[in-house]
Amino acid sequence: MTILHKTLSLSLLLTSLLSANGLHAESVATKIIEITLGDYRYMPANILLDIDQAVVLRLVNVDAFTPHNFTLEDASDGLDVNVDIPAGDSVDVHLMPLVAGSHVFYCRNKLWLMDSHRDKGMVGALTVIPAQQASQQAQ
Ligand SMILES: [Cu+2]
């Protein structure tokens, strides 16, 4: 293959990549995952995130009187969250998962002399999928 051919195919490749990006601009926008908090549960309780993909967790507390919380402790890979969600309110949490792996999240609320919300079942798992697995999933 001559240099001219190589340059030409490279520029064609770039053009098609750029136009593909243009077409998919909407889907590349930050993904929003809605998690409902209520009745001492997270729904869904198992969250899958793609590595290096910014995401918004929209935490919606549907309980009328009970405040909840979302705690995820892993400062090493940018997943360090501790937010309170008042009854009937919602909070957006922006995450950028940088390391593949699985993490537990839970509600740290507890009334005096009562079981903690975590003990009542308010716990879930957030799993960050490596890039290779994520692209296989998309196919
Ligand atoms: Cu709670």
% residues pLDDT > 70 (the chain)? 73
Tell me, in angstroms, the distance from the centre of ligand 1 to residue 72's CA: 13
How far from 104 is each of 60, 72, 80, 101, 107, CA to CA, in Å? 19, 7, 11, 10, 10
User: What's the mean pLDDT in 62-89?
Assistant: 91
User: What tens digit of pLDDT does each residue of 103-133 get?
Assistant: 999 999 999 889 999 999 999 999 999 987 6
> 115 versus 135: which is more confidently predicted?
115
Ion ligand 1 residue ranges (Cβ < 5 Å): 68, 107, 109, 117, 122
Domains in the chain (CATH in brackets) are 31-138 (2.60.40.420)
In this prediction, residue 29 carries a pLDDT of 78
With bands split at pLDDT 50, 70 and 90, how would you rate the model's confidence at 18?
Answer: very low
> For residue 73, how far is its CA from the centre of ligand 1 (angstroms)?
16
pLDDT above 50 (res 9): no
How many whole angstroms from 2 Cα to the centroid of ligand 1?
65
Q: How many C-beta atoms lie closer than 10 Å to residue 124's C-beta?
A: 20
Interior/surface letters 81-91, b for 16+ CB within 10 angstroms, e for the rest: beebbeeeeeb
pTM: 0.74
